[in-house]
Every structure is written in C-alpha cells, then in structure tokens.
Amino acid sequence: MQTQVFSDIFPLLNTANPQTLEWLISVAVEHEYPGGRAVLMEDAWGNAVYFLVSGWVKVRRTNGDDSVTIAILGRGDFFGEMAVLDESPRSTDVIALSPVKLLTVSRERFIQILFKDPQLHHRMLQLMVRRLRQINIRLQMKSCPPAVKLAHTLVGLAENYGKSSPQGKEILYIPYQDLAQVTEITLDETTKIMDKLNEKQWIKIDSSKNTIHILNFPQMVHLANKF
C-alpha cells in the first residue's frame, strides 16, 4: 500500500510524517475475515493496534454468556489503542459485520513509533478526546425520544464511514439488534422507527446489497440534533 493511500484512509495518520507511514506499512500485518467471524477476543486485547482498511465491525461488551454491542466501526477507524496503553484486563471483543480487511501493528512497534513521531502522538490524543466527547453526547441524549437517538446513530455512521451514492449516504445494513444496543433503545422501538423512516422515504433498505441508503440526509441530521 502506498503511503498516500494509507494516509487518506486513516484520519489518525494524516498528520504523520512520510517516514512514519513508510515504517508502519513495512511492519503492519494484513488480515482478512469473513462476516460473522471474531476479529478480536477479549483475552487478546493489548497485543496490537488494528486498522480497518475495509468492512465493518462491532465492539461487544461481554459478561459471561451475555454480550451487548457498544460501538460500530468502519473503514478508516482503528481500535486496540486503549489496551496497548493500558494493560488492565478487557471485557470486550470485536466481531466482523461484513467481510473485513485489517492491518495490525504490534504493541511494541506502535508505542515505539508514537515516541518517534510527535504529530502522530498528538493526532491520536485528539481522536481519543473526540471519542470521549461522543460518549458525553450519548449521556446527554439519555432522555431523548428513541427516534432522535436512532437518527443520531445513523447520522454518525454515515458521517464517519458512509459512502456517497446517487441515492444519498450509503452504510452497511446493521442488524437491528446491534443498532438498538448501540443506540440504547429497545429492539421493538428500533424496528418501528426504521419501518417509519422507510415509509417516509428518508431511508431505503437494499437487502440484495446489504446496505441502507439515507435518502434525506439533511432532514435526518435535523432530527438527530433535537436534543
């Protein structure tokens, strides 16, 4: 992979110097997983940082036999950085929602490159702070109507990982159970709201391509901001 392509895919790396990018590409290991496969189990956290080249994954919090989806990530995102910096035990795993291509960089090499490139170090801190702000927004939305909360989830997925298409923003068709858990509403509420959005032609579900098209993105943004 060329350094410019690497930088374009990952916002984390768009301020890194060319030497850093070349070094990361040289030490990264490529992995591919089919949809439904466990990408990272809870006992493997802390070994590496994972870069999503393509595809979608869900992060689950596990407690015995129970699991709850707490985040959905797509192309250009990364995960595992917290466990690399904090060696405490993890209780989450990562499951592929679609065919996935990943690059991994070992813990030792990633920490080494952070010390060598202050710009990369600073950029990672910025993105981690952004994630904390997103968590704060979700806390502020606790009492919002379910439709507002679900619109906020869909808009976030589209803005962070969606592709532009003639039919608007395109994202992966996320199973309703995962959408409900990430949004922190019930499965019944999620099903009813998605059906209503489909009836109003704000979204279009294409089951043949396993995608959701957000047709009326400005209106969806307007609904998501009602908190």
Rounded CA-CA distance 222/137 in Å is: 16
Would you list the domain boundaries of the chain? Answer: 3-139, 144-224
Query: From the first residue on, what is the mean pLDDT of each consecutive set of 10 residues in the chain (227 residues)?
Result: 82 87 90 92 74 95 86 93 70 91 91 87 86 85 93 95 87 96 97 96 92 93 88
Rounded CA-CA distance 204/213 in Å is: 5
Structure tokens of 118?
């202050």
CATH architecture of 3-139: Sandwich (2.60)
Q: Hey, do 3-139 and 144-224 end up sharing a CATH topology, with the first three levels equal?
A: no
pTM for the whole structure: 0.90
Q: What pLDDT shows up at residue 180?
A: 97
Q: What pLDDT shows up at residue 92?
A: 82
Q: What pLDDT shows up at residue 88?
A: 61
Element (H, E) at 7: helix 3-9
Q: What pLDDT shows up at residue 45?
A: 64
Q: Which CATH class is domain 144-224?
A: mainly alpha
Q: What pLDDT shows up at residue 101?
A: 96
